A and B are shown apart, each in its own frame.
Chain A
Amino acid sequence: GAGVSQSPRYKVAKRGQDVALRCDPISGHVSLFWYQQALGQGPEFLTYFQNEAQLDKSGLPSDRFFAERPEGSVSTLKIQRTQQEDSAVYLCASSLEGVRIGELFFGEGSRLTVL
């Protein structure tokens, strides 16, 4: 596709359920980022991939959060045993370059509501 695609756009989960959020980056983009955005706040960094390697996961808030990008393209963010504080929009972004910091292309986000 022409842009970064995220699915699902909306997800409602009961507390304690596991969820999986998918990101399809722009084809050929080396870098992929996940951000969490609470209502009224700016995006908070979660994790970063360069190709299939997860080079920075220091932003993941707990060990319930796990991300992967096994073939260096599609990425999945998994949240286990969801809690109400996990309710947020999860944004994925990709970037062409792997060395320099360049322009990030964001998806529309996946809005997670935990009841």
Chain B
Amino acid sequence: SQQGEEDPQALSIQEGENATMNCSYKTSINNLQWYRQNSGRGLVHLILIRSNEREKHSGRLRVTLDTSKKSSSLLITASRAADTASYFCAPPRDTGRRALTFGSGTRLQVQP
């Protein structure tokens, strides 16, 4: 089954800087989602981008999708200490399957 793989595995930046996380996946998708997880908590949905969209914005988040390269990126602008968390991309597990699959995530540390 396919799995989203995030890059880098860890990222440390200063408050106010932008953070970019990348994701690669293997098979064709209808949409791709991004989630955030604070330490010891459940995952929280950030954004869903459909295969016919190349870019989507939500507040300080910007997500891109390149289906030809099977890749996506998540940009967090003007980062805050509260953005410190793990971020996961979540493509569908397999074509035709309903579950999402998650990689190991990008652990983002925003220094105040």
Binding site for B on A (CB under 8 A): 4, 31, 33, 35, 40-45, 48, 50, 55-56, 59, 91, 93, 101-109
Size of chain B's interface in residues, with CB distance under 8 A? 24
Asked if residues A33 and B33 are in contact (CB atoms below 8 Å), the reply is no
Q: Is B42 touching A107 in the complex (CB atoms < 8 A)?
A: yes
User: Are A105 and B45 within 8 A (Cβ)?
Assistant: yes
24 A–B contacts from the bound complex (CB under 8 Å): A31-B98, A33-B99, A35-B102, A42-B88, A42-B104, A43-B88, A44-B102, A48-B98, A48-B99, A50-B98, A55-B98, A56-B97, A56-B98, A56-B99, A91-B42, A101-B31, A101-B92, A104-B35, A104-B43, A104-B100, A105-B45, A106-B35, A106-B42, A107-B42
Majority secondary structure, B binding face: loop
Kindly list chain A residues whose C-beta atoms are within 8 Å of the C-beta of B92: 101
B residues near A (Cβ < 8 Å) are 1, 30-31, 33, 35, 41-45, 48, 88, 90, 92-93, 97-105
Tell me the complex Cα distance, A102–B32, Å: 10
How distant is the Cα of A59 from the Cα of B100 in the complex, in angstroms? Answer: 12
Contact A108 B99 (CB under 8 A): no
Contacts A40-B104, A56-B97, A109-B42 supplied; 7 other A-B pairs, CB < 8 Å:
A41-B104, A42-B105, A56-B98, A56-B99, A101-B31, A104-B45, A106-B44
A64 to B61, CA, bound (A): 41
Instruction: Return chain A residues, CB-CB under 8 Å to B41.
Output: 108-109
CA distance A105 to B35 in the complex (A): 10
Cβ B103 vs Cβ A42 within 8 A: yes
Q: Which residues of A contact B98 (CB under 8 A)?
A: 31, 48, 50, 55-56, 101
Which residue of A has the minimal Cβ distance to B91? A101
**A residues less than 8 Å from B100 (CB atoms):** 33, 45, 101, 104
